[in-house]
């Protein structure tokens, strides 16, 4: 496998404005090409925006959904990919018959390389959950996708790695929302509005337990335990009424951050990944040491899945 230069993006989306969001995707893709990137990854539902969906009725969500790959947004993404000769990964609302999905796609030129449907789409009761893991190849590397909350369920990460993934793309819209964990919560708008005059105060909020500090509790572990590269993306600024901290990053199989977005603007970061780390990392040995006969029936036992973040409670407001 050749070394890959992977770009991760952050940008502030406009709710439901697919033309605007695709314009930013095009602009950042061009920037990634100039920086020597081989591919670029954007955040969850980057084409439509995310948080505002919780306030929409079914018809309103249908109105911003489209078929994959025949819809206009997917076709536009293919056009951008063809023009810049680079794979692009981005998210949109997929319509398939009567069902709606939080979907993340990879296109390369005019080809749809992969399509993954979020397993835990709690943002709206009208969204259906995906029911399968997805792996695919890019430049000889085997890749997987897990969207936002899917990454918090460690079994999803292990399963994707056991299917052969060397890279897991992890598009998110997360951080800066309430949680049971001490220190978590919304970031006050005053910090964002004063970001030019007092960037240190906003950076402290974004890097503390509300944002990056929370990520560092678990994101490196996902990469380390399964010996995979983790490609994490997240918006910057407002997604709906929620302020987000960006911090899109590439982590290696040791759990080390290779590159990360640190500005408050629409931006990218690029990191080079190399194949030798995949087998040198501890997680590779741990996978080989597994004894599934001990826990096959435990992990595979019947279980009723429940997914409802604290911030979705009606009493929680930013």
Cβ–Cβ under 8 Å, residues 133 and 160: yes
Decide if 156 contacts 150 (C-beta within 8 A).
yes
Contact 318, 241 (CB under 8 A): yes
- Whether 315 and 287 have beta carbons less than 8 Å apart is answered as no
> In this structure, what token pair is assigned to residue 30?
């061009």
Looking at residue 219, what is its pLDDT? 98
Quick: pLDDT tens for 75-95.
999 999 999 999 999 999 999
Q: What does the pLDDT read at residue 298?
A: 96
With beta carbons less than 8 A apart as the criterion, state whether 50 and 44 touch. yes
Tally of CB atoms within 10 A around 52: 21
Regions of the chain with pLDDT less than 70: 314-318
Asked whether the beta carbons of 261 and 8 are under 8 A apart, the reply is: yes
* 219 CB-near residues (< 8 Å, 6+ apart): 151, 170, 230, 232, 249, 251
Q: Give how far the C-alpha of residue 236 lies from the chain's centroid of Cα atoms, to the nearest Å.
A: 13
pLDDT computed for residue 214 by the predictor: 97
**Tokens, residue 43:** 């955040």
Q: Residue 41 contacts by C-beta under 8 Å, 6 or more apart in sequence?
A: 6, 7, 8, 9, 89, 90, 169, 171, 231, 233
The length of the chain is: 318
Give the integer Cα–Cα distance in Å for 92 and 82. Answer: 19
Alpha carbon of residue 110 to chain centroid: 23
Q: Using only the alpha carbons of the chain, give its radius of gyration.
A: 19
**Which residues on adjacent β-strands are paired with residue 142?**
137
pLDDT score of 24? 98
Q: According to CATH, what is the number of the domain 4-290?
A: 3.60.110.10
């Amino acid at each position: 496998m050749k070394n890959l230069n992977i770009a991760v993006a952050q940008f502030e989306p406009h709710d439901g404005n697919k033309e605007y969001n695709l314009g930013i995707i095009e602009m950042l893709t061009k920037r990634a090409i100039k920086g020597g990137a081989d591919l670029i990854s954007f955040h969850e539902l980057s084409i439509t925006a995310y948080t505002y969906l919780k306030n929409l009725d079914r018809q309103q969500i249908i109105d911003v959904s489209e078929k994959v790959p025949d819809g206009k947004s997917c076709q536009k993404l293919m056009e951008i990919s063809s023009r810049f000769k680079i794979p692009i990964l981005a998210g949109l609302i997929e319509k398939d018959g009567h069902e709606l999905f939080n979907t993340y796609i990879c296109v390369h030129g005019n080809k749809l390389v992969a399509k993954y449907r979020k397993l835990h789409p709690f943002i709206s009761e009208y969204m259906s959950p995906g029911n399968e893991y997805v792996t695919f190849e890019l430049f000889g590397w085997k890749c997987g996708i897990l969207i936002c909350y899917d990454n918090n369920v460690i079994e999803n990460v292990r399963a994707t790695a056991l299917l052969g993934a060397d890279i897991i793309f992890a598009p998110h819209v997360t951080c800066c929302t309430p949680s049971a964990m001490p220190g978590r919560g919304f970031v006050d708008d005053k910090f964002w509005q004063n970001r030019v005059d007092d960037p240190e105060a906003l950076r402290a909020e974004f890097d503390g337990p509300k944002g990056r500090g929370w990520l560092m509790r678990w994101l490196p572990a996902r990469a380390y335990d399964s010996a995979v590269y983790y490609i994490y993306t997240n918006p910057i600024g407002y997604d709906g009424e929620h302020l987000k901290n960006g911090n899109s990053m590439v982590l290696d199989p040791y759990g080390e951050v290779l590159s990360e977005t640190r500005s408050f603007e629409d931006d990218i970061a690029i990191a080079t990944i190399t194949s030798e780390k995949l087998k040198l990392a501890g997680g590779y040995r741990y996978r080989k040491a597994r004894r599934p006969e001990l826990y096959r029936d435990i992990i595979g036992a019947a279980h009723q899945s429940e997914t409802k973040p604290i911030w979705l409670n009606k009493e929680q407001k930013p």
